[in-house]
Chain A
């Protein structure tokens, strides 16, 4: 089956640090990748949609200068949380699809803790 790999699984860092999270589709070409965020006891919330070779589309309320997304190839998308602060602490998870008729396949997520 389709496999999506996400790294790192855990990040703990100081306030003001920038953190990069990678999302890779291992056995298929992902035309579209998605980034979600989940706060404790809340639903997963879509942050942005990323298409290979083009700028990401951000959901309302998500700061594009804070959460930089790069989708440079059909197998890799990165999310960089710039100048992270404690309120950015959350569970970040990516997904990928090959085409819109296929299910989204998710990575295992990244738990980010900003001290």
Chain B
């Protein structure tokens, strides 16, 4: 059974810092890996999707990497802003997704 772990559960940083959020999973037989953002009381916003054949994806200040052999992914956030404060979820598929518990990020002005 696939298990996805995100540590730490919470993170607080000053504005402007570059961040790395980590995700690990136990079964490397995945179709893809997806990073989401969840704001309080809201649904999920897809940030990046990495197919199993890919190593990384970039969108604006975000970069996600995937190392299937070691069962790890990282989400890199450059020059963090207070608006980046949210819970970041890592999920592996698929096609149904297995989620981690998320990392709650707080970016202090």
Residues in chain A within 8 A of chain B (CB atoms)? 4, 6, 32, 34, 36, 41-46, 49, 59, 93, 95, 97, 100-109
Query: Total A-B residue pairs with C-beta atoms closer than 8 Å?
Result: 54
Closest beta carbon of chain B to A65's beta carbon, Å: 20
Q: Which residues of A contact B36 (CB under 8 A)?
A: 106
Chain B residue nearest in CB terms to A93 = B43
Bound complex: CA of A102 vs CA of B34, how far in Å? Answer: 10
Closest beta carbon of chain B to A93's beta carbon, Å: 6
Q: What are some 11 contacts across the A-B interface (CB < 8 A)?
A: A34-B96, A36-B97, A42-B101, A43-B100, A43-B101, A43-B102, A93-B44, A103-B34, A103-B46, A104-B34, A109-B42
B25 at interface, CB cutoff 8 A = no
Chain A residue nearest in CB terms to B100 = A43
Q: Which residues of B contact A32 (CB under 8 A)?
A: 95
Q: Can you list, as one digit per residue, whether each of B12-45 has a CB less than 8 Å from chain A (1) or not (0)?
A: 0000000000000000000100101000001111
Bound complex: CA of A83 vs CA of B75, how far in Å? Answer: 42
Known: A43-B4, A44-B89. A104 touches B97 (CB 8 A): yes
Q: Are A106 and B49 in contact, with the CB atoms below 8 A?
A: no
